[in-house]
Each structure stands twice: as C-alpha cells, then as structure tokens.
Copies of this chain bind each other. A is one copy, B any other.
C-alpha cells in the first residue's frame, strides 16, 4: 500500500481502490484483537537495493522484510526458520516492551541464545501500544545486512490510546543507509588494528530502494543495473486535498537523517508510539531507532510531482540524497516522472542547534501527558567516550566497554550460572567535575566488561548520557540511545557539561515525551527517567550498529525473581548448552 508501482494512471487508480479497501479493512480489524501468525524464512539472497548487487539477509526473500500489521492488543506470533547456512540469528522487536515475555526481546546474549541454522524459533508477544515500531536482527551486525522491517500497530478506535488527530490515508517510510561492503567485512575492519573503517554509506534507502550511480568508479563490472525494478524510485501517491499520515522510521546503521517532502510542511504528531504536541517542520531530523508520524496535507499543484528526500546530517555527508516521488492522483503528469526541481538537500549537516531545537520541541501531546515521578531513586551518569583496548578502537561508558556474555543474562541469572558474566557492576558515575568533554581523552585506554546494572524492581531510575570529544580533535557525534523493555521520559537536553547540582532543576516534569530512542547531541547531554517495572534483562545502547559492536551499551536487570520459568527454546548456548528443549 505504501508505494504504488511506477507506471501509467491505470495502476494508480487500481491502487486507489486497494487503498480504500484496505482502509476499510483496517477499521474492521480494529474492532477486536487477534493473534497474527507469521512464518518467516531467513536466508541470504543477492539483492540490488540500490541497483548494485549485494548479498543480503532476507525474510521470505525480501529486504526490508514484510511489514507486520496489527491492532493494539494483538498477539504476534512469528515462527523464524533459520536458513542461513552457517550463521545463527536473533530478531529484536524494537519498541515493543515485552511485558510478561522478556524472553521474546530477541537480543542475543541478553535474552536468548542464538537460533541455529536449521532451527525454528517462535517469538510470541503482545503489541500493547499503537504506533510505528520496527524489527531487526540483534546479533552481530545482521541488522545492517538487511534483516529489518516495520511493525505498524493501529490504535483501537475509541480506546484509551485513540489518536488525537485525523487523517485520510497513510504511508509508511522506512529510511536506511547501505554499504556495498559486507557486514562481515565491516565487522572485521572495526576489530582490526589499525581500524579499517568502511567509510560513509554508498547509498541511502527509502523503503529499501536507492539509486547508486552505476558508472561511478569502483563498481564491479556487471554488478550494477540501473534498470532493475528492484531499485526503481518509490512513488507515494496522494489524493488532492486529503491529509496523510506518514509513518517514518529510521533503521540506519550509522547515519542521522533529515527527511523532507518537498513543498509540503509536516506536522509532527507521534514519536516512538507516543502522541506529541503537534509542531510543524519543513523537514524532520530522525535518528537510527526512532519513529515519527507526521501529517501532511496534499494541497499543492497536483500537475507536477514532488520529491521525498533523505539526507545525511551530523556527519559530513559523502552519500547522495535518497529520493522518492510524491505524486497526486489525477494530476497531469506521470507518477514516476522526476519533479522539475532539484531534490531538497536538507539543512546544513553540522547545524547541531537546528537538530537540538527539534529534540527539545518534542513533548507530549496534551491528551497524552503521563507525568513522570517527581524524583528518581537512583541516578546513573554515563560518560560516552571513544577509547582503546590493546590498540583496538572501542566505545565505553564510564570507561567500561561493553561486551556480550556467551550465556544470555536472562538465562544465566534464572539458572544461577553466576560465572557466566562479570558479577561486578559497572561504575555508576564518572569524574563529572573534572572531565573535559571538549578535549580528546588524555588516557584513552579502557577495559571491557560484561557486568550489568541491577535495578530495584519498581524503582525510578534517571540516566544522564554525557557526550564528549572522540579520539580525534574537535569531534563529537550524535549517538541515538535505545532502551529495551521500556519507554522513558525525556527530561532534558543540554549542550556542554552536565552538572548534577544545576541541570536537574531545569528538567521538564510537566509534559515530557515518552520515547524508546533518544538523541545524545555532540558535546551534549540527555537526561531520561524510567520505572524499573518490567521484570527481565534489558539492553540500553547506542543504536549505531558499529558503536554497539564496539562496546557502546549497558544492560539493566530488574525483577528477575518475578520472571516465570523460561522457555527452553531460548537456551542451549554457553553455560546452558545442556538446558535447551
């Protein structure tokens, strides 16, 4: 439904009917919750997402995988068949809190053992909130290899979480970045001394499609074909005068993006499954792991097309703009005809304050304010630094670079395998009064640990993320942090050094937005609060694939004693090799 195929008006009219039909169906479906079953086969296939052939991890032959459509309260059952030849797999349901099903979070090493080739593993969980979510591989760098897709949960009409806005139609937009190099090569390069960085993405993708310049240098002969339908520019069709909800998600491995619909201002109404106080933007900054809904009125000249554009921000771009086409039904132009104007190039890539201000503007919708607890029981200050271990470049929090244990915490803790991970908790704070966030670390060396933070069940926890200068001079990058198993209130952002004596006084306790992924801006800090009320073990990490791979994450445990008996299917590795089904 999201894209109509390029072509003449005939398919578009066909799409219009399909669209009306599906709209009606969605309404009908929304009347009751149900169980939605999916059968997935994970395999490697040669795909040409940006016209260049590349080995990709696919679901039922597709990347992105099939969109999971559901209604709030539905139970989702996904039977995953691993047909990778020698490689295991695990799939995370990003933004789904997994209340009562902590073993279904899909984080290898944290909540489950990996799924072996030939094995079948069934994920069962409830989608208890409406909104736009994602799923993706959470093992090695499999997400970047193509193992990702969307979850769209419709609100129960008239329910508690009914939408405080109206629209006539909707489109889904999944943004990504893409390299021609394999993720194995990327991972091996990151682990090398000296590091061998893969470089900026070759392409940006919109709904799994991009357009690499086949005549560019370095393209292997015969591997690029601009004529493939697989990489045809996506077309989003709209009816003149109607209002559309665009659900936008970013699954990028690296890039912070800016998204724009040429000539059509967007009203931001939802973020990470929570309604926000509407605000209008010309373009939207979106970080990996985030989702937004915007409303857009199709009120422009229908006789020409318009660009949808995605551009890199925050890092100096070396990747061309990704484009799609917005086309009006009934307009006097072909839906796949390039608009007469150049594609939007987005804001200045290094205009941090532009992005910072949008972060700050994102607060809860008046009808959806859920006030946070007034105070926290515990505050964890996390200094994000780039470091080294034996010459390997790493990322660390409070000078500890995270490593995954080989026995998942959830399994190890429930079965008493205390030797499976470091029992010493990582540090709660850092020398925040003396650390100079504007210079590179004086002693970059750090240590690795798979220790975790154990939280008192039901307690209120504040986490303040502090960004700092990297190993190179004058360099600090946006880090999008994602929490599993919870939404958190975003209490505040700042640029500069966080002062625990001063800044908590500036927190927004009135209408903070609830999110599961939040930006930590260059040289900035971000404060968030959550209730440790979901029994299980939950990752909290930078959503940049390479950053987590290099240690930029931590893990929380809470209420492990309340987790019921674990399904045997999540076991069978590490210390529990003998504890499977």
Known: A86-B142, A87-B87, A574-B118. A218 touches B220 (CB 8 A): yes
Contacts of A86 in B (CB 8 A): 87-89, 114, 139-140, 142
CB-CB nearest in chain B for A90: B86
Contact A184 B44 (CB under 8 A): yes
Contacts of A574 in B (CB 8 A): 116, 118-119
CB 8 Å contact bits of A174-198 with B (1 = contact, 0 = none): 0000000010110111011000100
CB 8 Å contact bits of A218-248 with B (1 = contact, 0 = none): 1011000000000000000000000000000
Shortest CB-to-CB span from A233 to chain B, Å, is: 26
Whether A45 sits at the interface, judged by CB under 8 Å, is yes
CB-CB nearest in chain B for A572: B577
Shortest CB-to-CB span from A403 to chain B, Å, is: 10
Whether A117 sits at the interface, judged by CB under 8 Å, is yes
Shortest CB-to-CB span from A107 to chain B, Å, is: 13
CA distance A376 to B221 in the complex (A): 54
CB-CB nearest in chain B for A189: B46
Contacts of A572 in B (CB 8 A): 572-573, 577-578, 580
- Interface positions, chain A 124-157, Cβ under 8 Å from B, are 139-142
Whether A581 sits at the interface, judged by CB under 8 Å, is yes
CA distance A263 to B160 in the complex (A): 89
Whether A367 sits at the interface, judged by CB under 8 Å, is no
Contacts of A304 in B (CB 8 A): none
Known: A116-B88, A221-B217. A188 touches B55 (CB 8 A): yes
Whether A579 sits at the interface, judged by CB under 8 Å, is yes
Whether A568 sits at the interface, judged by CB under 8 Å, is yes
CA distance A140 to B118 in the complex (A): 12
Contact B85 A187 (CB under 8 A): yes
Contact B188 A44 (CB under 8 A): yes
Contacts of A140 in B (CB 8 A): 85-86
CB-CB nearest in chain B for A82: B406
Cβ-defined partner of A196 (8 Å) among B46, B182, B185: B46
- Interface positions, chain A 73-100, Cβ under 8 Å from B, are 85-89
CA distance A45 to B87 in the complex (A): 17
Cβ-defined partner of A578 (8 Å) among B85, B118, B191, B580: B580
Shortest CB-to-CB span from A146 to chain B, Å, is: 12
Contacts of A189 in B (CB 8 A): 46
Contact A184 B55 (CB under 8 A): yes
Contact B182 A184 (CB under 8 A): yes
Contact B221 A218 (CB under 8 A): yes
CA distance A114 to B188 in the complex (A): 21
CA distance A184 to B568 in the complex (A): 30
Contact A116 B573 (CB under 8 A): yes
Contacts of A580 in B (CB 8 A): 572, 577-578, 580
- Interface positions, chain A 505-550, Cβ under 8 Å from B, are none
CA distance A45 to B114 in the complex (A): 23
CB-CB nearest in chain B for A46: B188
CB 8 Å contact bits of A545-580 with B (1 = contact, 0 = none): 000000000000000000000001000111001111
CA distance A355 to B79 in the complex (A): 52
Contact B119 A116 (CB under 8 A): no
CA distance A114 to B86 in the complex (A): 8
Contacts of A220 in B (CB 8 A): 218, 220
CA distance A218 to B218 in the complex (A): 7
Contacts of A55 in B (CB 8 A): 182, 184-185, 188
Contact B117 A45 (CB under 8 A): no
Contacts of A192 in B (CB 8 A): 45-46
Shortest CB-to-CB span from A121 to chain B, Å, is: 11
Contact B578 A188 (CB under 8 A): no
CB 8 Å contact bits of A305-331 with B (1 = contact, 0 = none): 000000000000000000000000000
What are the 6 tightest A-B residue pairs by CB atom distance, in nearest-first order?
A118-B406, A577-B580, A86-B140, A85-B140, A44-B188, A578-B580
7 A-B residue pairs with Cβ-Cβ distance under 8 Å, sorted by A, are A46-B196, A55-B182, A88-B116, A119-B406, A217-B221, A577-B581, A580-B580
New A-B contacts (7) at CB < 8 Å, excluding given A86-B114, A184-B184? A46-B188, A46-B189, A55-B184, A87-B87, A87-B88, A182-B182, A572-B577
